Each structure stands twice: as C-alpha cells, then as structure tokens.
C-alpha cells in the first residue's frame, strides 16, 4: 500500500537549461542528471531494416554517457557501436537513437552491473559487444596442486 501511495521522485523533472542536452531532447520524462543507471538505446532505423538495441550502465549522469555515445556516433568513429550498426544495416545513413532508463542503482556498482548483465542476457541486444557476468560457455579450469605439478 505504501508503494502505491508514495513516489520515488516526488519532485517533477524540469527540462534542463542546456538546449543541446542529448537526453532532454529525446525525452521530457528522463532526468538527465540521474546517476547510476542501466539504460537502453534503440536505433529508430526505418521500416525496411531492423532496429538495433544497446544496453549499458553508468555511474555518471545519463547525460554525460549519452553525450559520449552521440559524440562518437556523429563523428563516425570506428569505435562507435551505433555507427558500425548504421554501416552494416542502414548503408551508413545515421538514424535517430532513442533512450530509455531500465533501472537505477546509484550507490551500488555491483547491483548496477549485475542488473545490466541480466537485461543483456534476457533481451539479447544486437549492439552489445560483450556480456559481463554472462560467459557461461567458458569452461572453468581447476588449479593444479603442487603434487599434480610434480607428477607431470
């Protein structure tokens, strides 16, 4: 009952003063100053080609992280997963990217990283290059004891 009656953020978000804010220009419902979040970025693409999905996490503000992604993307950096997606799926034509917050864990880096890994595992986003905590197909190796080493 308490959860239904209380708000986690009772103060409504006002759009920030930065007219170039990458977050506020995409959504008026996301607080661009929010820190410690797990987020999803979707390529809007077009009707003929599939959209790409990326899931990430950051301890910094979502605005800082989104600006980094967009800077690499707009500069057509080879390190940008979004630019690589545009080359492969959209003939190099840059499309809009949408942002969505999935979870918040501002004071708990491990919880944030595990939450990101769970979202990556469940949604299988096509733009993620790695899966932290998700290498279940890597066989575990056992350390050899001193006696086993001497016997070999």
Q: 88-93: long-range contacts at Cβ-Cβ below 8 A with a sequence spacing of 24 or more? A: 89/43, 89/45, 89/49, 89/50, 89/52, 90/43, 90/45, 90/46, 90/49
Residue in the structure block whose two tokens are 């800082």: 64
Please report, for residues 25, 37, 125, 127, 150, the alpha-carbon distance to residue 93 in angstroms, rounded to integers and kept in the order given.
20, 29, 21, 17, 61
Q: What is the DSSP letter of 49?
A: S
pLDDT band, very low/low/confident/very high, at 8 (cuts 50, 70, 90):
low
pLDDT at 115: 95
pLDDT at 67: 92
Q: Which domains does the chain possess?
A: 33-126 (3.40.1440.10)
d(CA 107, CA 119): 19
pTM reported for the whole predicted model:
0.74
Per residue in 12-30, pLDDT (tens digit) is 556 677 888 889 888 878 9
The answer to whether the CB of 59 falls within 8 A of the CB of 36 is: yes
The answer to whether the CB of 41 falls within 8 A of the CB of 53 is: yes
Per residue in 50-77, pLDDT (tens digit) is 578 999 999 999 999 999 999 999 999 9
The SS3 assignment for 53 reads strand
From the list 21, 11, 22, 14, the residue with the least C-alpha distance to 82 is: 22
Q: How far apart are the first and last CA of the chain?
A: 65
Per residue in 98-151, pLDDT (tens digit) is 999 999 999 999 999 999 999 999 999 989 876 444 544 445 455 555 566 566
pLDDT at 53: 93
Q: What is the DSSP letter of 76?
A: T
Q: What percent of the chain has pLDDT over 90?
A: 47
pLDDT at 93: 85
pLDDT band, very low/low/confident/very high, at 4 (cuts 50, 70, 90):
low
pLDDT at 96: 87
pLDDT at 132: 43
């Amino acid at each position: 009952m308490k959860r239904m009656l209380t708000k986690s953020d009772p103060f409504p978000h006002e759009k920030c003063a930065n007219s170039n804010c990458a977050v506020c220009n995409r959504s008026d419902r996301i607080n661009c100053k929010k820190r410690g979040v797990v987020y999803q970025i979707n390529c809007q693409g077009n009707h003929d080609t599939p959209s790409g999905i990326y899931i990430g996490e950051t301890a910094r503000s979502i605005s800082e992280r989104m600006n980094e992604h967009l800077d690499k993307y707009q500069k057509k950096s080879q390190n940008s997963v979004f630019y690589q997606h545009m080359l492969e799926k959209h003939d190099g034509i840059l499309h809009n990217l949408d942002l969505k917050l999935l979870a918040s864990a501002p004071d708990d880096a491990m919880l944030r990283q595990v939450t990101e890994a769970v979202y990556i595992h469940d949604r299988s986003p096509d733009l993620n290059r790695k899966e932290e905590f998700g290498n279940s197909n890597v066989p575990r190796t056992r350390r050899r004891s001193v006696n086993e080493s001497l016997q070999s």
